[in-house]
Structures are given as C-alpha cells and as structure tokens.
Structure 1
Amino acid sequence: MPAEGAQKRRNGSLLQGLSLLAIGAALSLPPASTAVAESIDLPVSSRAFSEFAIGSDKRVFGKLEFLGGLSYSSTNPLLGAVSAIRFREDHQTFVAVLDTGHWLTGRVERDAGGKLSGLADLKVRSMFNSAGQDENVKYQMDGEGLAIGKGEVFASYEVFHRIDAYPDPGFMEAAPSRTLPLPFPRNEMRSNRGMEALAMSPEAGPLGATLVAVTERSLDADGNVLAAVLDGPLKGTFAVKRNDPWDITDGAFLPNGDLLLLERRFRLSDGVGMRIRRIDGTKIRPGAVVDGEVLIDADLSHQIDNMEGLDVVTMAQDDIRLIVVSDDNHSILQRNLMLEFRLPQAK
C-alpha cells in the first residue's frame, strides 16, 4: 500500500505539472479555431462521476455540498473552450459562449436520483459581429462573459473590449442589435484580462434587474479589480478586492442579490486552483471596494481543471445549485468538466 500511495502521488504530480504547462500556454497563446457558418449538431460523450476529492467520498467542501459532475468530449473539435454558461428557466437547457467565437446550446440530462448524467442536443455556431460577419478569427470574437435578459442575450469580449446585445430568441443567427457603452476607460482595460464576468442581477435584489460586469485582472490604482453596475439607480463603477494570485473568471447572482465570483489560481509554486467568493449585494454601489466570504477553495487533488464558467440554478426556494464548467483550451492535457454543488440554506 505505501508503494501504491507513493505512485499515486507521483502520478498526481505529473498530471499537475502537465496541466500547469497546458493552462499556462493557453493563457499566453490563444488557440486556433475552426469557424462554422451554420448551426451544427455536436456528438457528445459524457462520463458522470460522484467524487470531488479524488479517492474520497467526502460531500461537503467549505460551504458547498458536491452533488456530482460530468467529464465530456466530442469527436468534433469545436466542442471545448467554454468561457461562460447560463441556464434557462427550465433548469435544463443552457446557452454557453466559447472563447473561440462560438455559441453553444444544449441541455443537461439527469439520472433517477436527480444527478447530472450527461449532455444532449448540443449545437454550435460561429458568432456574428456588428457588421453581420461570422467565421471571424478568435482575437476579434474572444467571448468571455454571458448574461440573459428580457429578450436579449449579452456577450462580453476581450482584446476588442465590448459588450454586445443579441436578440433572444434568434441570437445564434443574428448580428448584435446594439453595443453597450463601455463602463471603463478603454486604456485601463488589459488586452487579455478584460470583462470576464457578465451577470444579470435579479429584479428583487438590491441592484434591481441590471447587468454587472467584472474584469479578470484590469486593476485600479490600488490594485483592485475593476467592476461596474451598468444601469439602474446604483449605476457606476466599483472595485473587487484582488487576492493574489486569484483571477476572476465568471460571476452569477443568487436569488437574494448576492454576487458569486468564480476565481482561478495558476502559478508554478502551488499549482492550479478554483475558488468561489460570495459578495454581499447590499455592499455593491458606486465607489465601493467589495470583498466576501470564500465558499470553496479547491486544487488539483479535486476534480477541477481550468474552471471558467459559473451559473446559479434555483431548483426550489431551499435548493440552490451552482454549476461550474471548465475551459479545456482545446488541449489534450485538459478536460471539459461540469460540476454541480448545492448551497445549503441558513436555518
């Protein structure tokens, strides 16, 4: 047994090293992509798993309960590079944006016990730019954030920093109907560290029904992360306290208006990590610097990869789920993952 345990640790160290190399290369060198000028069906193969901590049946991690996960792949190379995901009101169908400049839609399947069991009905298509052109090169359509509003789907982009609004339904076949005013000075936006999180605040929350944008690592003079409320009585910029080496990769609102931020850690000294921070929605206002409780902090001893997308799915008043997805960077050393957690409600 000691020899077997040592071998597992060596294998784990090798896997982490390979993952670090893959993620590091992907963060610095955008992958090539193949555009598709019409919506096509994607074959998908899924494998469900029930362990989050590798080799353990532990269920609770920090403030969250792990419910299950999926690892998925396709024979079509277009599947991958998921940057953000949003679920529809039926809790099954979803819209995702790929950083290769593609839309992805589909639905989740569940087993008899209600756990994630697979993905189905996947469709992918190149996104249109404001000129009505599709099949654009990646750096022009580096989609990172995604939000669904009333009659519109919003996508935020890096490099060419902007937020475009698309008609909903029909977003996959349409050019943007409008481009929203940029909430930050353009010269303060880092090329590959722009508006990574785009989330719609709930109407009943303290901000009202409005978009909130949070950058990955575009910083103010004090080293805090730039963020903004885009409309409503509390419209204006605020900042999120940055905890080095964590970078924000997505965000989503809880029903009460608190903002959850998904964060990624990547450095050679301590590897790849994922955490989720909860920001009190009543603290978000122009000029504020906000911080919050860490709900979960995981590394590669858990079933994570380059986690980039987060959504909140309210199954019932006392059953709030968090769905987290990874960006595999189209690398054979990384995985497409979908994880599901439950946020226990205070008694």
Structure 2
Amino acid sequence: MQTRRWLALAAAVLVACGPRPAAEGATEGPSPLVIAAHPFPVELPVGSRLRLLSAIELRGDRPDFGGLSALEVDARGERFVALTDQGAWVEGRLQRAGGRLTAASEARFAPMLSGGVRPSPRMRDAEGLAIAAPDLSGPRHVGFERRKRVERMPGGAEGPGEGVIVAEPEAWLIPGPNAGPEALAAAPDGRILAVMEKPFARGEPFSAAWIGPGPEAPAPYRRATVPQLLPMSATGADFDDKGRLWLLMRDFDFAAGFSFAIVRFRREGDGFVDGEVMLEMPPGPGSDNAEGIAAWTDPLGRTRLLVVTDDNLNLLQRTVIYEFESPD
C-alpha cells in the first residue's frame, strides 16, 4: 500500500510537471504517426455485466503522443478518431485478429488550429468529442474544459477544420478547472448531449445539455440532467444503435490510484432512467485514467464498447484501449 501511495503521488507530480505542450502560435500540419500496440493484461472483477474481449497498450513515435481524452469509432468498429487534452487529433484504423484488438494502423497526428495557428493552452484543453456520422465524415463537436464551451468543427477527407462556438451557457460555469463539458454523445435525433464532469453538488445528478440540431451558432440549447449512480466523475459518453446512453465514469485515490466504471441508461424524452452499473473496475494494474468511450454494433448485432485511457503524458501511466461486449 505504501508503494502504491508513493507511485500515485509521483504520478500527480509528473502530471503537474510533465512535458510542455507545443508552443502557442506554432504551426504544424497533419503528420504520419507510427503506433506500436502490445497486449494489455486485464482481469475484470467478479460480477461485471460486460465481457472483456481484449485490451492493448499504445505507444506512439512522437513525444507528444498521449493524453487521449475522447474517442469515436465508425459503424464497423474500425476507423477511430481521438483527441488529446493538449488540443490535437489522433486518427487511424483498429486492427483485430480472431476478434481481438491487435494494432492501430494508418495513423496520423494533427494539431487543432485557430486562424492557422495553435491557440493558447486555455483555449485548446479539449476533453469531449461527438461525431454523428456513422463513417465519421460529418461535423465534430468538441467540449473544452478551461474556457467551458462546445465547438463544432467541419470534418471530411481533408480532416477537421476550424471550429465555431455553438454552446457556452452560463449554466456551465461550475467553479473549478475540472468541471467542463467532458462527456459528449451524438444522439440518433441529431442532437448532441454534453455532460459536465462533475455535478453542482455532491450527490446531485450531473448537469447536462442538449445542443442542436442544426447549423446555427449558437445552437438551440436545452438543459438536462443525468443520474449519478456512483461517486465518480463523468469522463465520456456515447449512444448505441438502440438509443441507450453509455456513460464512462472515473475516480482517483492518492492511496490506490485510478478506477473507472461504465453505466447504462434508457432515454425517456430528454431524460434518462433505468440506470444500470455494467462495470466497476477497481484500482490496480488493469485500471487507468479512463476518459473516452465509443459504442458500435458488430455484425451479429451485439453492442461493443471501446474505452481509451489518458496517460497525462506521464511515464507512470499508459494509453490503453479496452474492448467490451454487452450482454444485451
């Protein structure tokens, strides 16, 4: 336990003193990214309702690879788009053998730009991502944490363009740096659900909002809430093909480290009911800083979930992609 405590403290120090992000105003276009993938051993706790199919640890050939804070995947579960909390895109293709994740190929890295240059760190702290198009070709909605807002960015063959702010309501001004629109999900009706990382008060539901649909900026906006089933932060969200909301949650304890959970809700109007805890991953060697979740449906009609972890550009943490299967 003492060793774990010191490792957790060291991790916190490295997060605060980690590699410096690319300079404000620097310009850099998309570039190829080589990602090495290695099997990552995980043992799920007894009673988990999800089945783990596989997990891989990723390591890129760039010193600024990492910090993956959100994830989307196409309808076939192959092509992926992720973003980093330093304001950069990581895109590529997932490979499987025998139904197990084996590699991430055809990858590229591209910084977010504003006016052709990198914005200040305060403006590029990206944490949430939602893409409605099944092939990931359409607009990308991005949630930012420091200056709390959601931007819409065009997508396409040339990659994402520069964003416009579609939501920046006063209702999001929860005190503290880790309280922005962290979990975004594209609903079947074209609207974007944005869930705040923390509720206004302990034990209350998560504050959320329905944004859109439509091309307006600002977009139509309606407040909502999502039940908080566990005393954790909301870090990622996605809807499956059945219209159910999957919410990724995470916690950190200085003595034990990171834990995470996946909960599921049925949508009822603009609200969410029948919450179910599908997985509670305790602290330990198989758990890390889970921040992004993406749902897809396999050829047999089964819902699969991909979860990515944010290593905080920290040598003591890892970038891991897990793939789970839902029982129904």
Q: TM-score band, normalised by the shorter chain? A: 0.7 to 0.9
Q: Which residue of 1 aligns with 2:52?
A: 66
Equivalence map 1:142-181=2 (5 Å): 142-150=125-133, 151-169=138-156, 172=159, 174-176=161-163, 178-181=164-167
Which is worse superposed, 272-281 or 31-40? 31-40
**Partner residue of 2:318 out of 332, 335, 339:** 335
Whether 1:227 and 2:215 are equivalent positions in the alignment is no
Q: Which residue of 1 aligns with 2:73?
A: 87
Q: 1:229 to 1:69 in 2, by over 3 A?
A: same
Q: Which amino acid aligns with 2:185?
A: A
Whether the 8 Å contact between 1:226 and 1:238 is mirrored in structure 2 is yes
Q: Deviations over 1:278-317 (max 9, x none)?
A: 12212643xx7x6721100012335221111100011135
Q: Which residue of 2 aligns with 1:182?
A: 168
Whether the 8 Å contact between 2:179 and 2:198 is mirrored in structure 1 is yes
Q: 1:171 to 1:99 in 2, by over 3 A?
A: farther
**Partner residue of 1:215 out of 196, 215, 231:** 196
Give the paired residue count.
Answer: 315
Report the Cα distance in structure 1 between the residues aligned to 2:172 and 2:15, rounded to whole angstroms: 21
Whether the 8 Å contact between 1:85 and 1:94 is mirrored in structure 2 is yes
Whether the 8 Å contact between 1:152 and 1:166 is mirrored in structure 2 is yes
Report the Cα distance in structure 1 between the residues aligned to 2:123 and 2:104, rounded to whole angstroms: 29
Equivalence map 1:38-49=2 (5 Å): 38-49=29-40
**Partner residue of 1:281 out of 253, 267, 282:** 267
- CA drift of 1:188 comes to 3.3
Q: Which residue of 2 aligns with 1:344?
A: 327
| Structure 2 residues without counterparts, runs of 5 or longer | 214-219
Q: 1:140 to 1:231 in 2, by over 3 A?
A: closer
Equivalence map 1:261-340=2 (5 Å): 261-268=247-254, 270-282=256-268, 284-285=270-271, 292-301=275-284, 303-316=286-299, 318-340=301-323
Whether 1:252 and 2:231 are equivalent positions in the alignment is no
Give the structure with higher Rg (CA). Answer: 1
Q: Secondary structure at the match of 1:174?
A: coil
Report the Cα distance in structure 2 between the residues aligned to 1:29 and 1:244, rounded to whole angstroms: 31
Q: Which amino acid aligns with 2:173?
A: N
Whether the 8 Å contact between 1:23 and 1:329 is mirrored in structure 2 is no
Q: 1:228 to 1:27 in 2, by over 3 A?
A: farther
Report the Cα distance in structure 1 between the residues aligned to 2:191 and 2:108, rounded to whole angstroms: 28
Q: Secondary structure at the match of 2:106?
A: strand
Report the Cα distance in structure 2 between the residues aligned to 1:134 and 1:172, rounded to whole angstroms: 16
Whether 1:34 and 2:22 are equivalent positions in the alignment is yes
* Structure possessing the higher relative contact order (Cα contacts under 8 Å, 6 or more residues apart): 2
Q: Is the helix fraction higher in 1 or 2?
A: 1
Report the Cα distance in structure 1 between the residues aligned to 2:70 and 2:32, rounded to whole angstroms: 20
Q: Which amino acid aligns with 2:74?
A: R
Q: Which amino acid aligns with 1:215?
A: M
Report the Cα distance in structure 2 between the residues aligned to 1:92 and 1:227, rounded to whole angstroms: 29
- CA drift of 1:221 comes to 9.2
Q: RMSD across aligned C-alpha pairs, in angstroms?
A: 2.8
Q: Secondary structure at the match of 1:185?
A: helix
Report the Cα distance in structure 1 between the residues aligned to 2:292 and 2:174, rounded to whole angstroms: 24
Q: Which amino acid aligns with 1:137?
A: S
| Structure 1 residues without counterparts, runs of 5 or longer | 1-9, 203-207
Q: Deviations over 1:308-330 (max 9, x none)?
A: 11000111353211000100001
Q: Which residue of 1 aligns with 2:92?
A: 106
Q: Deviations over 1:227-261 (max 9, x none)?
A: 112236x9621223335641111011121211111
Whether the 8 Å contact between 2:37 and 2:102 is mirrored in structure 1 is yes
